[in-house]
Chains A and B, each alone.
Chain A
Amino acid sequence: METQVATFAVKKGLAQMLKGGVIMDVVTPEHAKIAEDAGAVAVMALERVPADIRADGGVARMSDPELILKIMDTVSIPVMAKCRIGHFVEAQILEAIGVDYIDESEVLTPADEQHHIYKHPFKSPFVCGARNLGEALRRIGEGAAMIRTKGEAGTGDVVEAVRHARTVLGEIRHLQAFQEEELMSYAKEIGAPYELVVETRQLGRLPVVNFAAGGLATPADAALMMQLGVDGVFVGSGIFKSDDPAHRAVAIVKATTHYNDAYILAEVSRNLGVAMVGRQVSSIPQPELIAGRGW
């Protein structure tokens, strides 16, 4: 048999290797080194963390490939980068420079208000955000090899990540109770491909790895999401917007591994300094919320 490169199995497989780990947002090669030294399983290379994107306003786009390449040269762990929703040319550029995972992200300003990228033909795997099962399965239908909750990025408020994780995982639990003849109308109701609804019911989980993201800021936040049943966590602004990023990064890595051991969680939560100040999601005006981006 011929060697087959970049199959869906290897795209999905890399996400399986990231399970139980922490993926950290970094904006410089120095940050990337701190993240790797702390035990991050991957870094997300970007020009501004979501908290700054939120504060600065304006249009948020793919980062300068030069910055991403410098970060790729600095660390041995996988490097991810974000493109705008529907901006398949940004994705082509990220693939051309050899990024290990592309995040088609609502954190950037969407380039298409109807369509996401058709992700199957790309050699680079994609991760996409989702707030519910229908959205997750639509993204997988388009070729996403990994899903994350959207949460509300750049807030330091975990409430939306909890809502999205509970929604997706709860809907999967409900799906287990359905009879075969109910699946087609359920697929129609949630706007998801029928075959993926059937597969999810049979597996009792999403067909791809499912991480939490959006608003995580503490070791306890990471362990909370893990206990709710996600496979791993993204921490964006939460690390490098805190007082002592190196120390906090290690603590979040340890909390993600030992998420079920409250004694270890207590130990790693001590003396971390001030967490990112954050912004309560319920105080943010509707037009400024980003989790609603995505179709």
Chain B
Amino acid sequence: MYMKIGVLALQGDFAEHMAMLRRIGVQSAEVRLPDHLQDLDGLIIPGGESTTIGKLAVAYDLIEPLRQFAAQKAIWGTCAGAIFLSKDARRPQPLLEVMDITVERNAFGRQVDSFEVDLEIPELQVVQPGSGPYHAVFIRAPLIESVQKDTRVLAALPDGRIVAAQQGRLLATSFHPELTQDDRFHRYFVRLAEGKVTTLG
């Protein structure tokens, strides 16, 4: 089966996600209007400004179609995308409210505090057994303050703060795998979209 993954292209680094999908041999398509969601096996919501993405999603009637998509298929949000998926971002702005996580925007401070760090992410062993730590890039990043219901924590900083989570086929990362040369997260998401078992053991 050939996979086709959509990338929400309202604003942000959608081209970087599409380049990564191309690199791992997966077809991709830009999504700007509700019609563009047809025939997709999964959707990535890129990094960008979550307020901009939310407002454009409201303006072009994408909120309900995206919620319906989330009920049936895999969605992965990176940074702004993670905020957009969340139930609660602690301030009024349009959200999909499909994932049981609470996020705090700009949790690490302003741009001068943006950083890179290595993370241990055991789930990535599923796509590449024996692979090492994951080098994560955080840019004015949100923090996943808490996860609720059946949401699992995939990655945390050394001090325990949550930066990646998964609930069923929904995936949220505070950081930007699309800005690295490491395609493990994209391969992990494609497996999720294919409906393959992704949990360890």
Contact = CB atoms under 8 A, between A and B. Distances in A.
Interface in A71-107: 76-78, 95, 98, 100-101
Interface string B26-43: 000000100000000000
B110 A100 contact: yes
Contacts of A21: 11-12, 48-49, 52
B187 interface: no
Contacts of B51: 36, 39, 76-77
B26 to A, nearest CB: 21
Chain B: number of interface residues, binned into ranges: 35 or more
Given A2-B117, A76-B91, A100-B112, 14 more contacts: A1-B117, A6-B113, A10-B137, A11-B111, A13-B114, A14-B111, A14-B140, A16-B47, A16-B179, A21-B11, A21-B12, A38-B55, A100-B111, A254-B59
Interface string A15-55: 01111110000000000000010111110000000000000
Contacts of A124: 111-112
Contact of A6 (B9, B59, B114, B133): B114
Contacts of B80: 17
A198 B140 CA distance: 31
Contacts of A36: 51
Contact of B13 (A3, A17, A38, A123): A17
A284 interface: no
Nearest to B58: A39
B12 A20 contact: yes
A114 interface: no
A257 interface: yes
B56 A39 contact: yes
19 contacts: A6-B114, A9-B179, A11-B114, A13-B137, A16-B16, A17-B12, A17-B49, A19-B13, A20-B10, A20-B12, A39-B51, A39-B55, A39-B56, A41-B52, A77-B49, A254-B59, A257-B9, A257-B11, A261-B32
Contacts of A185: none
B133 A1 contact: yes
A69 to B, nearest CB: 12
B116 A123 contact: no
A19 B9 CA distance: 10
